[in-house]
């Protein structure tokens, strides 16, 4: 029983990071209307950002996680202004192909410059016991960071002026436009926030999991499963979906095998789309 609780908590910690990735994807998808297949690659870039900041500049990972958010936010704003804004009104295929092209462009460049070596940031290694359970220090630290960023995102969307405008654009962009909201600017901000979340998630990932140029692929499939679970554009749903995917992964890895755990995202997507295409949660 103690073992099972430990597995659940491990899944919860994993899920909190997945949720960050999934919330970024669902936010962009809901507001901008673009499915960003390159989202996973920004997770990878975020991970390398934290890794290089740690190994070259000896930055504290806490600081590089905080720094990754504005850096990736601005990168996202620039990418959206230059490229993706043109696809907003096009057929869905355009955005799918374009972001897929962006995705392989990014990972191949990363592979070319940083090689395929598996790397990780060795920060906060070791465990500590708590109420008869054993926790990894790094994982607990990342869990705290992920929760803090999630809370900040929720507060921003709920109470700030821009957050309200973004939610309005997501609900009905035409009415939002009529009400005097600059929806183009909101789409740009949202794209930046989505990339910022992906970058931050990547920086957190690098603290305890191995990183390599092609790691984005596994994150994007989980992020898709999370978006489908939570319902399109539903941030709270994505948070819950991320935690569910994380726990499922921990349980299946423990009781079946690590290979079976990789099937979870695909199976989740298929089952949810067939039984409840609007997602598990009401908006």
Partner 1 sequence: MRRLFGNRSQIWIGIVLLMAFLIAFPFFATDYWMTLLILIFIFTVYASGWNLFSGLTGYTNFGLAWFIGVSGYVSSLLIADYNFFWLLAWPIGALFTSMISIGVGYILLRIKGVYFAISMVALAEGTRELFGTEYLSPITHGGKGVPFVAGIGLSTLYWAILLLAFLSLIVCYMIFSSKFGLRLLAIREDEQAAETLGIHTTRDKITTFVISAFLVGLAGAIHFTYQNYIDPSFAFSIHLTITPIVMTLFGGIGTVFGPVIGATLFTFIHEILWAEVTLLYMAFFGGILMALILFFPQGLLGWMKERGILPRIRKI
Site stretch for partner 1 (CB under 8 A), options 17-25, 64-72, 89-97, 158-166: 89-97
Whose Cβ is closer to partner 1: residue 204's or residue 250's? 250
Applying CB under 8 A, among 66, 75, 88, 104 the residue interacting with partner 1 is 104
Sign of CA dihedral 234, 236, 237, 239: positive
Tell me the residue length of the chain: 283
The residue among 25 and 200 lying less far from partner 1, judged by its C-beta, is 25
Torsion on CA atoms 235, 238, 239, 242, rounded to nearest 10: -160
Place of tokens 């920060």: 123
For residue 198, which of 8, 14, 27 has the smallest C-alpha distance? 27
Nearer CB in complex with partner 1: 149/195 = 195
| Residue 211 DSSP class | B
CB of 106 to partner 1, least distance (A): 8
Of 94 and 140, CB closest to partner 1: 94
Instruction: Indicate if the alpha-carbon torsion angle 79, 146, 141, 10 is positive or negative.
Output: negative
Distance in Å from the first CA to the final CA of the chain: 35
Q: Does 79 bind partner 1 (CB under 8 A)?
A: no
Question: From its phi and psi, is residue 126 left (phi > 0), alpha (psi between -120 and 50) or beta?
Answer: left
* Beta-bridge mates of residue 130: 133
Contact status: 265 vs partner 1 (CB under 8 A): yes
Q: Does 94 bind partner 1 (CB under 8 A)?
A: yes
78 touching partner 1, by CB under 8 A: no
Q: Which residues does 153 contact at the CB level (< 8 Å), separation at least 6?
A: 23, 193, 197, 235
Binds partner 1 (CB under 8 A): choice among 81, 269, 281, 283: 269
**Min. distance of Cβ 109 from partner 1 in angstroms?**
5
221 binds partner 1 (CB under 8 A): yes
Q: What's the closest the beta carbon of residue 266 comes to partner 1, in angstroms? A: 3
Take residue 261 and report the two structure tokens written for it.
């755990």
For residue 207, give the nearest of 141, 121, 277 by alpha carbon. 121
> Would you count residue 277 as binding partner 1 (CB under 8 A)?
yes
- Residue 14 as a binder of partner 1 (CB under 8 A): the answer is no
Residue 13 or 87 with smaller CB distance to partner 1: 87
What tokens appear for 202 in the block?
């990547």
Q: How far apart are CA 199 and CA 247, in angstroms?
A: 23
The residue from 157, 228, 247, 250 that contacts partner 1 (CB under 8 A) is 228
Using CB under 8 A, which residues numbered 135 to 194 contact partner 1?
none
Residues that bind partner 1 (CB under 8 A): 35, 83, 86-87, 90-94, 96-98, 100-109, 111-112, 221, 224, 228, 257, 259-260, 262-263, 265-267, 269-270, 273-274, 277
């Amino acid at each position: 029983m103690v073992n099972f609780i430990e597995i659940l908590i491990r899944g919860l910690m994993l899920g909190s990071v997945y949720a960050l990735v999934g919330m970024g994807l669902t936010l962009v998808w809901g507001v901008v209307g673009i499915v960003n297949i390159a989202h996973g690659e920004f997770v990878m870039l975020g991970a390398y950002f934290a890794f290089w900041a740690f190994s070259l500049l000896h930055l504290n990972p806490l600081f590089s996680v905080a720094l990754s958010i504005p850096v990736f936010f601005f990168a996202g704003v620039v990418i959206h202004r230059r490229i993706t804004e043109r696809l907003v009104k096009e057929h869905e295929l355009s955005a799918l192909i374009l972001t897929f092209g962006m995705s392989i462009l990014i990972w191949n460049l990363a592979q070319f410059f940083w090689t395929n070596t598996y790397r990780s940031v060795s920060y906060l290694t070791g465990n500590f016991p708590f109420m008869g359970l054993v926790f990894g220090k790094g994982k607990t630290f990342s869990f705290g960071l992920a929760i803090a960023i999630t809370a900040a995102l929720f507060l921003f969307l709920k109470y700030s002026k821009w957050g309200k405008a973004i939610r309005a654009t997501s609900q009905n962009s035409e009415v939002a436009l009529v009400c005097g909201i600059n929806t183009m600017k909101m789409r740009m901000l949202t794209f930046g926030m989505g990339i910022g979340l992906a970058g931050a998630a990547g920086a957190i990932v690098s603290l305890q999991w191995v990183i390599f140029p092609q790691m984005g692929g596994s994150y994007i499939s989980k992020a898709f499963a999370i978006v489908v679970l939570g319902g399109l554009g539903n941030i709270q749903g994505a948070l819950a979906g991320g935690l569910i995917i994380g726990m499922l992964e921990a349980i299946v890895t423990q009781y079946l095998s690590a290979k079976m755990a990789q099937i979870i995202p695909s199976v989740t997507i298929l089952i949810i789309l067939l039984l409840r295409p609007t997602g598990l949660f009401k908006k």
